[in-house]
């Protein structure tokens, strides 16, 4: 099996090379993201392996099929940028990595939260300039606060465990509630109005795009913080910017952004960015943004590599595809 790995970074290659010692596939590492312009680069490959911000629409799938591609192996959990229904109609199944390290993403969300509420980024910059003043650095305790968890899949449940460790009360919202000790399920409106911190841990679907918008932001406490390490499209970015400017919420920490494709994972330091909304969010003192790095741990990268290659092996061996998107 010949695999074309798109949107390859150095850390992708090193971990896939290590995992591939047990599989022996022929992997071609390509730097461009998969899209309508680059799909032709898959010529001669049996499998394409796109990452989270690659575009796998009808036009891309038609090109892949014409070039002989037989499988789309996503190396991510999310598949909102992949027209998997059309791909399957063309005889090309789509597989994904449903879980790699839920702890990596959950821990990153709390790293963002702590940096936000304790103003660590401001403190870091000050001490680098030998300014040891504490003025303006007053934070809050997490102990005793209410954490609103939206989505209680594997990552959400890992976040619940961390929140409990901080001594927080946990409210949860999920269309498919579970029995979790010490967690009170409620409707979204109640969760938003009662929580001191709202953190999102759910996939992006056509039904929940802009789950957090003007109405839902207005339901939150003025003193509340919003954390998103899931998918950027869950939040209406312009509505968030407006709410922050009007001090409708206390702050936000984002590892994802709805228009991140073409910006995140790239170096824009010389050119700047044309996205005015993102630029204004980055400039705000009560906002922290990281570049979709919640998954970026050694453990998660190895899990992604191994699961992706095992998905491909199942296909090559003619077995049932455990992680097929259906």
Q: Quick one: which H or E segment has residue 287?
A: strand 287-289
* Tokens coding 250: 């206390």
Whole-angstrom Cα distance, residue 1 to residue 24? 9
**Is 37 among the residues known to form the active site?**
no
**Is 292 among the residues known to form the active site?**
yes
Phi-psi label, residue 51: left if phi above 0, alpha if psi -120 to 50, beta otherwise:
beta
Name the active-site residue from 75, 108, 231, 258. Answer: 231
How many residues belong to the chain? 326
Name the active-site residue from 75, 96, 108, 292. Answer: 292
Q: Which phi and psi (to 5°) does residue 198 adopt?
A: -115, 125
Whole-angstrom Cα distance, residue 245 to residue 322? 46
The three-point CA angle 203-208-214 to 5° equals 125
Q: Name the nearest CA neighbour of 108 among 308, 300, 302.
A: 300
Three-state SS for 215? helix
* Tokens coding 182: 């010490």
| Strand-strand pairing, 94-95 and 183-185 | unpaired
Whole-angstrom Cα distance, residue 198 to residue 196? 7
Residues 6+ apart with CB under 8 A from 236: 210, 212, 213, 214, 258
What separation in angstroms does the CA of 88 have from each of 84, 95, 323? 6, 11, 14
Residue 82 near residue 72, CB atoms below 8 Å: yes
Q: Which residues pair with 138 in a beta bridge?
A: none
**Is 43 among the residues known to form the active site?**
no
Mind telling me the catalytic residues?
231, 260, 292
């Amino acid at each position: 099996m010949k695999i074309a790995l798109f949107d390859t970074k150095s850390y992708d290659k090193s971990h896939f090379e290590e995992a591939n010692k047990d599989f022996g596939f022929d992997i071609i590492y390509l730097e461009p993201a998969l899209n309508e312009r680059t799909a032709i680069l898959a010529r001669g490959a049996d499998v394409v392996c796109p990452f989270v911000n690659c575009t796998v629409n009808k036009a891309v799938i038609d090109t892949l099929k014409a070039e002989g591609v037989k499988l789309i192996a996503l190396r991510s959990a999310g598949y909102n940028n992949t027209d998997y229904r059309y791909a399957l109609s063309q005889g090309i199944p789509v597989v994904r990595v449903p879980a790699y390290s839920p702890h990596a993403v959950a821990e990153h969300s709390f790293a963002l939260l702590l940096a936000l509420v304790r103003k660590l980024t401001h403190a870091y910059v000050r001490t680098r300039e030998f300014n040891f003043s504490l003025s303006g650095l007053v934070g809050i305790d997490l102990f005793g606060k209410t954490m609103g968890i939206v989505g209680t899949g594997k990552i959400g449940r890992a976040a619940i465990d961390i929140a409990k460790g901080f001594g927080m009360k946990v409210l949860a919202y999920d269309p498919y509630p579970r029995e979790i000790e010490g967690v009170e399920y409620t409707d979204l409106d109640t969760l938003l109005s009662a929580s001191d911190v709202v953190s999102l841990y759910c996939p992006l679907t056509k039904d929940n795009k802009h789950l957090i918008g003007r109405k839902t932001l207005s339901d939150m406490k003025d003193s509340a913080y919003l954390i998103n390490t899931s998918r950027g499209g869950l939040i209406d970015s312009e509505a968030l910017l407006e709410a922050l400017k009007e001090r409708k919420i206390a702050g936000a920490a984002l590892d994802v952004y709805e228009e991140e494709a073409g910006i995140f994972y790239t170096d824009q330091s010389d050119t700047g960015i044309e996205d005015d909304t993102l630029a204004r969010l980055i400039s705000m003192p009560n906002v922290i943004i990281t570049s979709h790095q919640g998954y970026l741990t050694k453990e998660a990268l190895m899990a992604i590599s191994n699961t992706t290659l095992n998905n491909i092996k199942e296909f090559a061996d003619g077995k049932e595809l455990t992680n097929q998107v259906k």
